[in-house]
A and B are shown apart, each in its own frame.
Chain A
Amino acid sequence: MDDTIATIIAAAAPLIYATMGETIAEKAGVINLSLDGSIMLSAMAGFALTYITGSVIVGFLAATAVSAVIAALIAFASIELKLNQIAVGFVLTLLATKLSSFLGTAYVGVKGTHVPHLAIPGLSDMPFVGTVLFNHNLSVYGSYVVLIGTYLFLYRTRRGLELQGIGERPEAAFARGIAVNRLRYIYTVIGGALVGLAGAAYSLDVKFGWRENLTLNFGWIALAIVIFGGWHPVRVAFGCYLFGTLQVVALKLQPVEALQGVSQILPIMPFVLMIFTLLIVYLDWFRRFGDRHPAWRRLLASDPPAGIGRVFERE
């Protein structure tokens, strides 16, 4: 049991990186739709650079850089050229995916370097919690840091409040002297960098190695989870671990002949849940219910940032 939960925590680590990155960007008002391609190209770049240099750190840095550049392109197209974020993000998804296949050919099946295992001394000896949380590697521990960091930053710092402001009411934020577009640039790129970490976490740890389409659909799943989690880091993280659980359950069910269908259905559950969440937010009875019980409403679903996907013009 302990081991199973530990596997789930590890399997969800890349999704934590990707969803936290996307949450930051979307809360600032920019949709980075390129996730699926970004993660894939980062996974390839991370694995390749680690293979070439022998350093996992260089691999993670390269992965970060790749996704940050893609995110910067989306920010540039959206802010400077006033292009549709969805259009640019979508094209970049397909392009980055194909590029990863093309550039990664030489690294298919080669033996790379795994992120070294690192049990945290002391903490990992604790019963249950030690095995579940502290007997992993740096890539998994990093996901805790990013998760907690994102939450604290967004809700406990002035900058985080500012970030929510430029995503919710850019005009009001601008009137208060906040450089909306510059901050949107910064947060989109930071979010992209985190997405890149997800790629490296796959190719150097969770799905160790490189082959074509290694991380296919995980970016779309991450996008779905961000919505399912209502753009709140803690609920988004809950979505990641829920999906990690589904993955592990699906894997365990696979050998059971009679349940083959079930193990195929589980991976699409995030999308069903996402649609359900989006739907529930707008249902009248849910609105009324939410008005009566604000605590429940916060728990179940919430509205997207009001300024999401909208270009801000200072005129």
Chain B
Amino acid sequence: MRAAWNRAGSKTIAVALAVLVTAALLLASGASPIESFRLIWQGSVGSGPKAADTLMAWVPLVLAASGLVVTFAAGLWNIGVEGQVVMGAIAASWVAREFHAPSAAVITVALIAGIIGGLLWGLFAGVLRVYGKVNEIFGGLGLDFVATGLVVYLVIGPWKRAGIASTSGTDPFPKEAWLPTVGDKLAPIAIVLAVLAVIAVYFLMRGTFFGLRLKAVGANPASAYIIGLSTSRYLLSAMAICGGLAGLGGAVQAIGFQHKLVPAISGGYGFLAILVVLLAGFRASLIAPIAFFFVMISVGGTQLSLRLGLNSSLGGVVQGTLVLLTVLVGGWQVRRARQRVRLEAEG
């Protein structure tokens, strides 16, 4: 009970501090905080098209973040998630460009290709970690850049637009490969996939032996190994699941939102997803709302540059400040609890 109160308390303190910091930054740049918050709200959920934008940005973020819940449970720092999003997008783009069939078939194959692309890239980092003892943080980081390099190479090289090589992206995919939309942008299939992913990960971690064992491996690999769990199999599975979900996010981003391959296809959602999961305290149940809050800030934040002439990076500053403060305040409370325990022990 006390733990729950403390957790809620630390969140409140962190949020309050983050709001203060944001307000101070806004005031310092000569903008009214109230007006800014109103603009963010209106720019993200204030109208139908805006809400569609926000939801479509929410999808890859939620997909990557649910995957990360699994890798974090296994004790893995899957910074390679960004590259896994990218590889999913590349694989889906390849299908969208090369595979000519009825729309439903193209889309299905493209989404599956996205899952496989991300999954393989995740497994790659996993294999490097398990069999090569390459720390997944640095291996994953390396693979992120390799994936990003590959996208740029494809966009200006083999997949360049007819005649001109430009970093603005490939030619748009054939219409059959686009996810069907309601209105201009909202693709219900994408939303459904994201919701399913979050629910699946929630139950995977709460209600299955696999989830339980995965957590055992993450909490203490040595003892998990002693009681007979194949540590490497669980680590590889976690990387594969996360890679697959992130790859699906990339696929949705490619065939559901951009409709072409662009160098910045990941949209930074992989890295942002790490922040979401940190803020969620690694719990699947909090992923969806926190991710929605984050994309509200990102999408709505663009209004601040349009209307108030502020730099659009403010959204990122708010997200970063919030997560940093949450992590620090949380650590501070744990430290105080530790000291209290020590004092009581000493009488």
Contact = CB atoms under 8 A, between A and B. Distances in A.
Question: Residue among B137, B149, B321 with the most chain A CB within 10 A?
Answer: B149
Contacts of A91: 275, 278, 320, 323-324, 327
B77 interface: yes
Nearest to A275: B142
Question: Residue among B143, B156, B315, B317 with the most chain A CB within 10 A?
Answer: B317
A305 to B, nearest CB: 13
B156 A271 contact: no
A88 B135 CA distance: 18
Question: Residue among B142, B323, B332 with the most chain A CB within 10 A?
Answer: B142
A77 B334 CA distance: 12
A88 B324 contact: yes
A268 B156 contact: no
Interface string A90-117: 1110110111011001000000000000
B313 to A, nearest CB: 4
B146 interface: yes
A94 B275 contact: yes
B128 interface: yes
Question: Residue among A80, A95, A279 with the most chain B CB within 10 A?
Answer: A95
B189 interface: no
Question: Residue among A82, A105, A217, A268 with the most chain B CB within 10 A?
Answer: A268
Given A264-B153, A279-B134, A271 B311 contact: no
Contact of B139 (A212, A268, A275, A281): A275
A271 B141 contact: yes
Contact of B142 (A81, A87, A271, A281): A271
B132 interface: yes
Nearest to A78: B331
Contacts of A83: 327-328, 331
Contact of A95 (B128, B274, B278, B324): B324
B316 interface: yes
Contacts of B307: none
Nearest to B323: A91
Nearest to B268: A94
Contacts of A223: 138, 141
Interface string A239-271: 000000000000000000000110011011001
Interface string B130-167: 00111101110111011011001100110000000100
Nearest to B328: A77
B228 to A, nearest CB: 25
A272 B321 contact: no
Interface string A203-220: 000000000100001001
A86 B137 contact: yes
A39 interface: no
Interface string A56-97: 000000000000000000000100111100111011101101
A77 B139 contact: no
A102 B317 contact: yes
A55 to B, nearest CB: 24
Contact of A220 (B145, B324, B334): B145
B51 to A, nearest CB: 24
A198 interface: no
B311 A101 contact: yes
A8 interface: no
Question: Residue among B77, B156, B320 with the most chain A CB within 10 A?
Answer: B320
A227 interface: yes
Nearest to A273: B142
B138 A275 contact: yes
Nearest to B25: A102
A224 interface: yes
Interface in B1-37: 25, 29
A296 interface: no
A310 to B, nearest CB: 13
Contacts of B156: 260-261, 264
17 contacts: A81-B331, A87-B278, A88-B327, A88-B328, A91-B275, A92-B324, A95-B324, A98-B314, A98-B320, A101-B316, A212-B311, A261-B153, A264-B153, A268-B145, A278-B139, A282-B133, A282-B134
Interface of B: 25, 29, 77, 79, 128, 132-135, 137-139, 141-143, 145-146, 148-149, 152-153, 156-157, 165, 271-272, 274-275, 278, 310-311, 313-317, 319-321, 323-324, 327-328, 331-332, 334-335
Given A98-B320, A212-B311, A264-B152, 7 more contacts: A77-B331, A260-B156, A261-B156, A265-B149, A268-B145, A275-B128, A282-B132
Interface of A: 33, 77, 80-83, 86-88, 90-92, 94-95, 97-99, 101-102, 105, 212, 217, 220, 223-224, 227, 260-261, 264-265, 267-268, 271-272, 274-275, 278-279, 281-283
